[in-house]
Amino acid sequence: MSADIRAVCFDLDGTLLRDDHVDGVVRAVADELAMRYPGVDAAALAEANENVWWDYWPAVGDAWMRGEVPGDEVPTEVWRRSLAQVGVTDATAATEAFELHTALEGNAFALYPEAMDVLAALRDRGIRTAVITNGPSGLQRSKLMAVDLAEGFDAVLVSGEVGIQKPDAAIFALAVERLGVSPGEALHIGDNQVADVGGARGAGLTAVWIDRNGAALASEPHHVVDDLRGLLPLV
């Protein structure tokens, strides 16, 4: 129990929100497109999507995260390139794929089972809460809405809205300012060791790494927890 912590900041994807549905959604989109476009192999299209994403990401990832390009543009372009690799050059196919992806993904958004109880317990203790998430505004806000957390925090910082992304210390500074606490009074929890652990530490917050999958430690968190319940003894 620390009397010093007055606010807890959360990463969203992989921390509060399950991220284990991502591959399944891509495959479901590919399955549907394979039915709509004869001759397309669904497995090949899903694989192309993954490869294109990794190839294309370094050139556009930062701009997408900071809201410098429309949120729909990058994922639509990924589908356009993936479809071209399996021989579909129909101009509307990529838009169709992106819309399908958005719809199927929206149905799959879900919190980790302990999230709501932990948030309620923190609120009961008078702890202020925030989300600090990297991604485009529309997508990240739709996730919060889908899990009934649109109004669930004292502050929400989406990189695509503030034009700064984790691990930049400035986004953590903005979060603590909005929460009305000092960095030393705030804790940030996240699953990404660069964006969350490195970022929070660099900004003077207590950094907690949530390691749901038993990954290798590659950063210097102040604490490591298995799931969100591990936060409660720390505040």
Q: Give the footprint of Mg ion on this chain (CB under 5 A).
A: 11, 13-14, 191-192
| Surface-to-core class of residue 142, CB atoms within 10 Å of its CB (0-12 exposed, 13-18 middle, 19+ buried) | middle
Least CB distance to Mg ion at residue 221 (A): 14
Side chain identity, residue 29: V
Q: Return the number of the residue (18 or 128) whose C-beta is nearest Mg ion.
A: 18
On whether the CB atoms of residues 161 and 145 are closer than 8 A, the answer is: no
DSSP 152: S
Least CB distance to Mg ion at residue 119 (A): 17
Q: Return the number of the residue (49 or 192) whose C-beta is nearest Mg ion.
A: 192
Least CB distance to Mg ion at residue 216 (A): 17
Distance CA 149, CA 75 (A): 24
Distance CA 52, CA 82 (A): 6
Q: Return the number of the residue (96 or 168) whose C-beta is nearest Mg ion.
A: 168
Q: Return the number of the residue (192 or 206) whose C-beta is nearest Mg ion.
A: 192
Helix, strand, coil tally for the chain in percent (to 5): 50, 15, 35
On whether the CB atoms of residues 181 and 6 are closer than 8 A, the answer is: yes
Which single residue brings its beta carbon nearest to Mg ion? 14
Least CB distance to Mg ion at residue 13 (A): 4
Q: Return the number of the residue (33 or 149) whose C-beta is nearest Mg ion.
A: 149
Least CB distance to Mg ion at residue 209 (A): 11
CA nearest to 19, candidates 104, 135, 111, 150: 111
Q: Return the number of the residue (20 or 90) whose C-beta is nearest Mg ion.
A: 20
* The pair of three-digit structure tokens given for residue 223, joined into one six-digit string: 């604490």
DSSP 187: E
Q: Return the number of the residue (78 or 195) whose C-beta is nearest Mg ion.
A: 195
Distance CA 71, CA 60 (A): 11
CA nearest to 227, candidates 22, 24, 7, 10: 10
Least CB distance to Mg ion at residue 212 (A): 10
Q: Evaluate the omega torsion of the peptide bond into residue 167 and state whether it is cis, within 30 degrees of 0.
A: yes
Least CB distance to Mg ion at residue 220 (A): 18
